Structure 1
Amino acid sequence: MSLGNGAEVNVEGGCYGSALTVASAGCYERLVEMLLSKGANVNAKDSSGRAGLHWAAENGRHETVVRLLVEQSGVEVDMMDTSTGSAVRDGNYFDRYIRADDSRYSATESGGSSDDLPMDSKRPPPRSSKKRSADSEPQDGVPRSKKTRHNLDVFYSGLVLPRGTYRYNPLGPNEIRLLYLFPADNKNDMLASELKVVRLDDRHLRYEALSYTWGHEEATEKLWIQSGGQQVPGQPSESSRQPSAETPVKRLQAIVWRVARERMEKNKTFYVRPNLSDALRHLRNYSGSSPQQSGRRPETLVLWVDFICINQEDKNEKSAQVRIMADIYKRADSVFIWLGTEGEESSIGMDFILRIPEQESQGMLSVQGSDAPQWGAFVALMRRAWFSRRWVVQELAFAKHAYLRCGDVSVNWIDFVVAVEFFIERFDTIAALYNDSALFKQKVLAFGDIKASAARKMVTITNEFIRGSREHRDRLKTLEALVSELTMFEAGDPRDSVYAVMALAWDVEEGAERRRRDWRHEAASRPSFKVDYRKDILQVFTDFVAFCVYGSDSLDIICRKWAPNRRAKVLRVADRPRYRGLRPPLEEINLPSWIGLLKDSAHGFTHDGPQVRVAGNSLVDTPLIPPYNACGGRKPGVLFGEMSGDPSHDDRALDLQRKEVAANPSVFKVTAHETLRPNRGRRSDGTMYVRGFRIDCIQEISHRLYEGLIPYEWLVLGGWRQRIEDGDVIPDELWRTLMANCAPDGNIPPPTYGVALEWAIERRNSNNDINTADLIRQGQPEKMVEFLKRVQEVIWNRRFFILSDQTAGIGYRFGIAPTNAKVGDIVCVLLGCRVPVVLSPVDVSNPDNGYNLVGEAYLHGVMDGEVFELDQSASYRAENTRESEEFCLV
Structure 2
Amino acid sequence: MMARIYAKAERVVIWLGTTQADSLTSEIAMEEFGDPGGLAKISRMITEKDQIWKWASLLDLMNNTYWKRMWVIQELVVANDVIIQCGNSKMHFGLFRDAVALFSASFETLRPKLMQHLEGLHQDKKHWALDPDLEIGNIAATQAVDALSTFRRNQDGTLQQTKSLETLLCLFQDRIASDPRDKVYALLALAKDGSYFNPNYSKSVFSVYKQFVQHSINTTQSLDIICHRWARQPSPSGSESRSTSRLPSWMLPDDEYEYGSRKGEGNLLRSRKASDTFVGILDKKSYTACGAGSRRKHPAVVFPGTTMVDGQMTESTCLMARGTAIGSITFCTQSMTDCVIPGACFEKLGFSRGTRNKDNARLQDRVWRTLVADRGPDNTTCPSWYPRAAQHCLEGWLCNGHLNTDRAIYETVSYATPYLARVRNVIRDRTFFELKSNIPDSKEHSTLFGLGPSHASEGDLIVILHGCSVPVVIRPVHIVSGSQGYRFIGEAFVYGRMEGEIFDTDYEEVMYTLV
| Offset at residue 793 of structure 1 (A) | 1.8
1:669-714: per-residue Cα shift (whole Å, max 9, x none)?
xxxxxxxxxxxxxx73110010111222222323333423223333
Residues 469 and 778 of structure 1, relative CA distance in 2, 3 Å threshold? farther
| Offset at residue 498 of structure 1 (A) | 1.1
Identity fraction in percent = 30
Show the counterpart of 2:497: 862
Show the counterpart of 1:701: 332
Residues 436 and 476 of structure 1, relative CA distance in 2, 3 Å threshold? same
Contact 1:720 1:728 in 2 (8 A): no
| Offset at residue 374 of structure 1 (A) | 3.9
1:346-405: per-residue Cα shift (whole Å, max 9, x none)?
5433222332x3032699754335544544443333333322222121122111111222
Partner AA of 2:424 in structure 1 = Q
- Partner Cα separation in structure 1 for residue 317 and residue 501 of structure 2: 32
Please state if 1:736 is matched with 2:357: no
Match of 1:553 among 189, 209, 221: 221
| Offset at residue 842 of structure 1 (A) | 0.3
Show the counterpart of 1:799: 431
Q: SS of 1:786's equivalent?
A: helix
Residues 684 and 467 of structure 1, relative CA distance in 2, 3 Å threshold? farther
Q: Structure 2 unaligned segments of length 5 or more: list them.
A: none
- Partner Cα separation in structure 2 for residue 411 and residue 342 of structure 1: 15
1:814-863: per-residue Cα shift (whole Å, max 9, x none)?
2222222222222111111000111111039x993311111111112221
**RMSD after superposition:** 3.4
- Partner Cα separation in structure 2 for residue 565 and residue 593 of structure 1: 11
Please state if 1:592 is matched with 2:260: no
Q: SS of 1:782's equivalent?
A: coil
Q: SS of 2:478's equivalent?
A: coil
Show the counterpart of 1:752: 385
Residues 358 and 564 of structure 1, relative CA distance in 2, 3 Å threshold? same
| Offset at residue 732 of structure 1 (A) | 1.4
| Offset at residue 619 of structure 1 (A) | 0.8
| Offset at residue 465 of structure 1 (A) | 3.3
Partner AA of 2:412 in structure 1 = G
The range that moved more, 736-745 or 481-490, is: 481-490
Residues 623 and 773 of structure 1, relative CA distance in 2, 3 Å threshold? farther
Residues 384 and 437 of structure 1, relative CA distance in 2, 3 Å threshold? closer
Contact 2:175 2:258 in 1 (8 A): no
Show the counterpart of 2:321: 690
Q: SS of 2:334's equivalent?
A: coil
- Partner Cα separation in structure 1 for residue 327 and residue 185 of structure 2: 39
| Offset at residue 483 of structure 1 (A) | 1.6
Partner AA of 2:223 in structure 1 = L
Contact 2:170 2:281 in 1 (8 A): no
Contact 2:167 2:282 in 1 (8 A): no
Residues 796 and 389 of structure 1, relative CA distance in 2, 3 Å threshold? closer
Match of 1:831 among 466, 475, 492: 466
Show the counterpart of 1:538: 206
Residues 601 and 758 of structure 1, relative CA distance in 2, 3 Å threshold? same
Please state if 1:330 is matched with 2:21: no
Contact 1:397 1:466 in 2 (8 A): no
| Offset at residue 552 of structure 1 (A) | 1.1
Show the counterpart of 1:781: 414
Show the counterpart of 2:508: 883
1:610-631: per-residue Cα shift (whole Å, max 9, x none)?
1365753221018997731111
Partner AA of 1:620 in structure 2 = V
Residues 687 and 702 of structure 1, relative CA distance in 2, 3 Å threshold? same
Residues 701 and 530 of structure 1, relative CA distance in 2, 3 Å threshold? same
Q: SS of 1:340's equivalent?
A: coil
- Partner Cα separation in structure 2 for residue 363 and residue 766 of structure 1: 44
| Offset at residue 541 of structure 1 (A) | 1.3
Partner AA of 1:595 in structure 2 = M
Please state if 1:506 is matched with 2:219: no
- Partner Cα separation in structure 1 for residue 353 and residue 180 of structure 2: 52
- Number of aligned positions between the proteins: 488
Q: SS of 2:304's equivalent?
A: strand
Residues 742 and 634 of structure 1, relative CA distance in 2, 3 Å threshold? same
Name which structure has the greater RCO, CA cutoff 8 Å, separation 6+.
Answer: 2
- Partner Cα separation in structure 1 for residue 271 and residue 119 of structure 2: 26
Show the counterpart of 2:34: 354
- Partner Cα separation in structure 2 for residue 634 and residue 855 of structure 1: 19
- Partner Cα separation in structure 2 for residue 696 and residue 822 of structure 1: 13
Show the counterpart of 1:637: 300
Show the counterpart of 1:390: 70
Instruction: Map residues 418-567 of structure 1 onto 2, 5 A cutoff.
Output: 418-431=98-111, 433=113, 441-442=121-122, 445=128, 449-468=135-154, 471-508=157-194, 512-513=195-196, 529-565=197-233, 567=235
1:766-823: per-residue Cα shift (whole Å, max 9, x none)?
422222222112224322x222221122222322222226643263612222222222
TM-score, structure 1 normalization: 0.50
Residues 732 and 534 of structure 1, relative CA distance in 2, 3 Å threshold? same
Residues 712 and 372 of structure 1, relative CA distance in 2, 3 Å threshold? closer
| Offset at residue 596 of structure 1 (A) | 0.9
Show the counterpart of 2:404: 771
Contact 1:624 1:748 in 2 (8 A): no
- Partner Cα separation in structure 2 for residue 748 and residue 501 of structure 1: 32
Residues 704 and 396 of structure 1, relative CA distance in 2, 3 Å threshold? closer
| Offset at residue 551 of structure 1 (A) | 1.6
Instruction: Map residues 275-424 of structure 1 onto 2, 5 A cutoff.
Output: 324-343=1-20, 344-345=23-24, 346-355=26-35, 357-360=36-39, 365-367=44-46, 368-369=48-49, 371-424=51-104
- Partner Cα separation in structure 2 for residue 488 and residue 726 of structure 1: 41
- Partner Cα separation in structure 2 for residue 350 and residue 424 of structure 1: 17
- Partner Cα separation in structure 2 for residue 830 and residue 752 of structure 1: 33
Residues 847 and 818 of structure 1, relative CA distance in 2, 3 Å threshold? farther
| Offset at residue 441 of structure 1 (A) | 3.9
